[in-house]
Structure 1
Amino acid sequence: MEHPYLFFVKIFEAIGLGHFAHTYTHVVYSWVLMAILIIAGALATKTISMVPGKAQNLFEVIVSGIEEFMVETVGEEGRWLFPLAATIFLYIFIGNLIGIIPGFFPPTANLNTTASCAIVVVVFTHVIGIKYHGAKYIKHFMGPVWWMAPLIFIIEIIGHLARILSLSFRLFGNMMGHEIVLAILFGLAGAFFAPLPIMALGIFVAFVQGFVFFLLSIIYFSGAMEHAH
């Protein structure tokens, strides 16, 4: 479901790539989202000084707030995971948020985008487990009773695969639902102001969905670092 007018799709149409833009709208707006984050990061680091300005203060509050919350949840040992976790949060939050802007499409309203983020999180969870425990990480999948290990192993594998479905479908469903409601309201005759309450609610939904994805990610990371019992 798309906005009636998508600015960057029109640009691709103008250069003869309209078919690609319509087929892979989420890819186009993922590129737009990455450009926004890269430019914002470059501008934030370019003006860093000992006496911070308003923009630097804002970025420092956001970054330090995410980091402190993560350390409180995971512990000091997980501080090195902050770059990945913070990137996930900012990517999803801003990706959700740009859908409120007329002419923009939230890439997180496409299952391919949310599934790719979920796969990164789940795969990296196991990378962390192997990094901390080596071959002993297999104990996380064996359960506490040795004779039930084969059954527990299968259940654990299913559970870890379900994490991908859970993370991706939760985010996709919420953002797609928001897009459908907006499209319906925009399509109604004389409904110029009708979408405004939904758009305002969309800001809250964008933050909550980004935060939930971030929180579940660091919980998975923390679980991989713990010793199996």
Structure 2
Amino acid sequence: MEHPILFISVILNWIGLPVPHGPIGATFLEKLTAPYLTYSWMLMAFLFVVPKLTLGKLELVPGTGQNFWEALIGGLMDFFAEHMGREKARVLFPVLATFFIYIVLANMIGLLPGFMSPTSSLNITLAMTIIVWLFHHYLGFRQHGWHYYKHFMGPILLIAPLMMMLELIANFARLISLSMRLFGNIMAKEVLLGVLFTLAGAYFAPLPILCLGVLVSIIQGVVFVLLSVIYCVGAMEHAH
């Protein structure tokens, strides 16, 4: 959901680019400057620039910025290692940690007036889900080769066609469940905040929902990444 005045609209007007009047624009250039894309690019630039500025040169006695990133990265690494083992965590960490940090910040940015959460667009959440879906199948194939596809047929040859159909349905359902869960929760937050700001004012009335929005933003990032971990670990393990 768009706020009445989006911060990005001021920038687009200033540099002479078209400002879409809806979730997506009519022309190709307007589609490229759609709010969910422009805020996503802004967030990616933020994630590239801020670590560079706060980390700088790594020191033996870390400063505040280095302490923050070491605590965050170390905590995430321990979380992944607890659920999949440290060896697998080292392989999956770059992808899953990037998803977690991006999703949490993308969820929270919509709490600021004039901003919107890129994850309130199904295009963003579906794109991330497709990456996870393809990635976990790639891991399964790399780990087991062509035997990976035998996991979809079940233990008994007689019921293999039925098991194959059920497994394929369940597997493709992950694309819907993983993307819609994140999209639905963040869109609901955006809509509720928009209604409260319109009807109850911009000060104290929306404050409880803003606090709840912070909690939802973190939880949804954890849920998305945890399910991604389960899918990847399941693909790499041997079927029983």
User: Which TM-score bucket, shorter chain as reference?
Assistant: over 0.9
* Two-structure CA RMSD over aligned residues (Å): 1.4
* Partner in structure 2 of residue 39 of structure 1: 49
Question: Which protein has greater RCO, CA pairs closer than 8 Å, 6+ apart?
Answer: 1
Unaligned runs of 5+ in 2: 25-33
CA distance in 1, matches of 2:64, 2:39: 29
TM-score by length of 2: 0.91
Q: What amino acid maps onto 1:81 in structure 2?
A: L
Task: Count how many residue pairs are aligned between Structure 1 and Structure 2.
Answer: 229
How far off its partner does 1:52 sit? 0.4
CA distance in 1, matches of 2:220, 2:21: 26
CA distance in 1, matches of 2:168, 2:13: 44
* Partner in structure 2 of residue 100 of structure 1: 111
Change (3 A) 1:11 1:38: same
Does residue 125 (structure 1) correspond to residue 136 (structure 2)? The answer is yes
CA distance in 2, matches of 1:174, 1:204: 12
CA distance in 2, matches of 1:198, 1:31: 26
Dislocated runs of 4+, deviation >3 Å: 19-22
* Partner in structure 2 of residue 7 of structure 1: 7
Q: Which among 61, 64, 78 is matched to residue 51 of structure 1?
A: 61
How far off its partner does 1:20 sit? 4.5
Could you tell me the percent identity over the aligned residues? Answer: 49
Q: Which among 125, 129, 133 is matched to residue 114 of structure 1?
A: 125
Q: Deviations over 1:189-229 (max 9, x none)?
A: 54532111111111111000000001000111100110122
How far off its partner does 1:44 sit? 4.0
Unaligned runs of 5+ in 1: none
Q: Which among 192, 215, 218 is matched to residue 229 of structure 2?
A: 218
What are the equivalent positions in structure 2 for 1:172-211 lying under 5 Å apart?
172-188=183-199, 190-211=201-222
Which segment is superposed worse, 138-147 or 175-184? 138-147
Q: Which among 168, 171, 180 is matched to residue 169 of structure 1?
A: 180
* Partner in structure 2 of residue 27 of structure 1: 37
2:55 touches 2:65 (CA, 8 Å); kept in 1? Answer: no
1:66 touches 1:86 (CA, 8 Å); kept in 2? Answer: yes
CA distance in 1, matches of 2:212, 2:12: 30
1:30 touches 1:107 (CA, 8 Å); kept in 2? Answer: yes
How far off its partner does 1:76 sit? 2.3
CA distance in 1, matches of 2:86, 2:135: 18
TM-score by length of 1: 0.95
Classify the secondary structure of the residue corresponding to 1:18.
coil
